[in-house]
Amino acid sequence: MKQDIFQAISDPTRRAILTLIAIQALTPNAMAEKFDMTRQAVSKHIKVLHECELIKPEHRGREIYYHFNAKKMQEFDNWLAQFRQSWEIQFNQLDELLSTIKEQKR
């Protein structure tokens, strides 16, 4: 079953893994050293991220290095962009309202 990208990034450990491998590709063992959890627990997080295509494996001999998939994250950012303009308009309107209220209190 393919995982949902929102479920994948909702977990703080998975977000931390994404941050780590955005800097450099790492093996599961190298990732596990960065967290207070077992290698098996980290592997479960890796599996979810891989199923969502947020990370890509690269086989180097007996090791597997996982890379950040910026292209997939760009797809997610593009989806968010449709809401960003609406949010900015609403936040600007809220700022204007708060400024008006503050001015009226003076």
The whole-number pLDDT of residue 79 equals: 85
Full-model pTM: 0.75
The whole-number pLDDT of residue 1 equals: 57
The whole-number pLDDT of residue 4 equals: 82
pLDDT tens digit string along 13-26?
Answer: 999 999 999 999 99
- 50-56 average pLDDT score: 94
Strand segments, DSSP code E, in the chain are: 55-60, 63-68
Looking at the DSSP assignment, which residues form a beta bridge with residue 60?
A: 63
CB atoms under 10 Å from CB of 26, counted, come to: 21
The whole-number pLDDT of residue 73 equals: 87
